[in-house]
Structure 1
Amino acid sequence: MVDKSEKFSALVRLGFFSRAILYSVLGLIALTSAGRISRGTNGIFEAIDDFPLGTAILWLMVVGLIAYALFRFASTAFDIENHGSDTTGWAHRIGHAGSAIGHLALAFSAYEFAISGRSDSGSAQEAASGILAIQFGGAVLGLLGIAFLVAAAFQARKGLTGSFMNRISSQAPRQTRLIGGIGYVARAVVFLVIGWSLVKVGFLSGGSHQVKTLGDSVASLAGQEIVFTLVAIGLLAFGLFSLVLARYRIIPDLGVHGKVPHFRA
């Protein structure tokens, strides 16, 4: 019989696997398909929809991205990864909250794309920006933007210091440190673009159409050729890194009462 900790771990690993698909596809289309990357979030899901069993993969990603978002919300609310409650700890946890909301928006986009199909694929961008812009007020969007900016700083720090290796099994491939470092720095750039777009909408009277999701933030860098190429390569690396995490990430166990997880050292 599978216990609750194993179910929790399986869902989190599915989340990392879904993230691996998302970032790998994003990096590939950024490097190979100018037309698709110009479509931002829609381009990602169009590419996935072209895969064999593409619709099934989209549904798998819906479940996985929601699971990953809930994992990050749990990190914020219950500190399941022992970041602590000091200023630095709360900065990490608030950054996780921003990541959770961003991945919920992507899950909603995948859901909208899966049920509507290619004929209505323009809804993916509206879905992603809508869950951010319609459900929250301007000030909350601005605060969410700050959370993304904080997360961007920590992503860059992780990439440069390699601190993320503390949460990965020693059995992981030896190239994990290099691939993860490159990926985190690239992801920091993307989070910076997303965060700044939310700050502008929330505090500087920007329109909701200016909210940038994952694909749109990468597309917005297309005019800066060297930066765009490096970020695209980095995001592809982050996709491969997420695949490693799906297998080797150390996942918190559920507590003795089966509710709040605790970090397994």
Structure 2
Amino acid sequence: MVDKSEKIVWLARLGYAVRGLVYLLLGYLALSSTGQDNVRRGTTGALEYIRSIPGGTAILTISALGLIGYAVYKLIVGLFDTENIGSDAKGLAKRAAYVVSAVVYGALSWTAIQLAQGTRQSSGNQNQELAATALTFDLGPAAVGLAGVALLIGAGAQAKSAYDRSFMRHISSDAPPATCWIGRIGLATRAIVFLLMGWSLLRSAWFASSGEVRSLGQAMLDLREMGLGFSIIAAGIALFGVFSLITARYRIIPDPDPKLNMRSPLRRA
């Protein structure tokens, strides 16, 4: 009999696989002459593309399930520190990022459900819509600015991880030999795109204009004038998708049950 903890672990792995599919599609669509509109809407656009293919509704339903599991797992890690991140300033910041990630992927799961049910139609930049709503409040610009800072910090963390290969600590030694280089290229590319997204949020907060905000896809498309550079970025995003698919199979995931995890030898290591 499979207990709840094991179910969450398998759902988390499915979530990594869905993340891989989304990024792989974004990279592919960015390189395709017919996929620009989907790319402009970022991760939501990738899900909308899935809906348009045969069997898309079933794939979206499975994707929503995986994204929920991924969000729940991230939330547990952030709140209960099941990966032994620590409670110092650096650890708390990283755990807070896990909680934010849980919220983001939980929202993406809801989007997948709506698309599967046909209750959501194609939309514009969801990030711009959220920023526009936030800017209507007194503390809205500050909140948008903090989100921008968080993305810049996330970009720095991914760049550091790509440089020192620290992400491999979470990957099983059974993973394919090319995993390290695929991960380094993918993380470095994602860091560049996150840097552009974070900067756009800071500009939005400063000018109090949601029009400055860039989705993941828009940040990529802003680099089109680079020519070959844009193609490299798109390919790098696709490689991050490949890395996520590998992660779905080979990531070392401690038991998400805080009580069981405290007794685990892995926890004490």
- Which TM-score applies when normalising by structure 1? 0.85
Q: Does the aligned pair in 2 maintain the 1:176–1:244 contact within 8 Å?
A: yes
Could you report, residue by residue, the CA deviation over 1:97-120 in whole angstroms, capped at 9, with x for unpaired residues? 4433433443344344333379x3
CA–CA distance in structure 1, aligned partners of residues 260 and 53 of structure 2: 38
Give the C-alpha shift of residue 79 in structure 1.
2.1
- Cα distance, 1:145 vs structure 2: 1.8
- Checking the alignment, whether the CA contact within 8 Å between 1:18 and 1:65 is kept in structure 2 is yes
In structure 1, list runs of 5 or more residues that go unmatched. Answer: none
Larger Rg: 2
For structure 1, which segment, 155-164 or 31-40, has the greater mean C-alpha deviation from structure 2 after superposition?
31-40
Partner residue of 2:145?
142
The match for 1:174 is 177
Per-residue deviation at 1:168? 1.0
Which consecutive aligned stretches of 4+ in structure 1 deviate over 4 angstroms post-superposition?
256-265
- The answer to whether the 8 Å contact 1:40/1:217 transfers is no
Q: Distance in 2 between matches of 1:117 and 1:48?
A: 15
2:226 pairs with one of 217, 224, 227: 224
Q: Distance in 1 between matches of 2:253 and 2:131?
A: 28
Higher mean C-alpha deviation, range 158-167 or range 105-114: 105-114
**Residues 116/138 of structure 1: CA separation in 2 closer, same or farther (3 Å cut):** farther
How big is the alpha-carbon RMSD for the aligned residues of Structure 1 and Structure 2? Answer: 2.8
Q: SS of 1:199's equivalent? A: helix
Q: CA deviation at 1:84?
A: 1.4
| Distance change in 2, residues 1:140/1:10 (3 Å) | same
Aligned pair in 2 of structure 1 residues 129, 60: CA closer, same or farther (>3 Å)?
Answer: farther
2:108 equivalent to 1:106: yes
Between the two proteins, the alignment pairs up a number of residues equal to 261
> 1:190 is matched by which residue type in structure 2?
V
Unaligned runs of 5+ in 2: none
Tell me the TM-score normalised to structure 2 length: 0.84
Partner of 2:87: 85
SS in 1 for 2:207: coil
Q: Find the aligned partners of 1:169 and 1:160 in 2 and give their Cα distance.
A: 19
Kindly tell me: are residues 232 and 117 of structure 1, through their superposed partners in 2, closer, same or farther at Cα, counting changes over 3 Å?
farther
For residues 59-78 of structure 1, the aligned pairs below 5 Å read 59-78=61-80
Identical amino acids, percent of aligned pairs: 41
- 1:235 & 1:142 partners in 2: Cα distance? 25
Against the structure 1 CA distance between its residues 105 and 134, is the aligned structure 2 distance closer, same or farther, given a 3 Å change threshold? farther
Specify whether residues 122 and 133 from structure 1 end up closer, same or farther in structure 2 by C-alpha distance, changes over 3 A only: same
* Equivalent residue, structure 2, for 1:9: 9
Structure 2: distance between partners of 1:161 and 1:168: 14
Query: Does structure 1 retain, via aligned residues, the 8 Å contact 2:77–2:256?
Result: no
The answer for the alignment partner of 1:251 in structure 2 is: 253
CA distance in 1, matches of 2:57, 2:157: 34
* Aligned: 1:192 with 2:195: yes
- Which amino acid is 2:118 matched to? S
Q: From the superposition, tell whether residues 231 and 49 of structure 1 become closer, same or farther in structure 2 (CA, over 3 Å).
A: same
Q: Which digits, 9 at most, give the CA deviation of each residue in 1:20-58, with x for residues without a partner?
A: 110010011111235345633354234322332112212
Alpha-carbon spacing, 1:147–1:52, altered in 2? closer, same or farther (3 Å): same
Relative to 1, partners in 2 of residues 1:55 and 1:247: Cα closer, same or farther, differing over 3 Å?
Answer: same
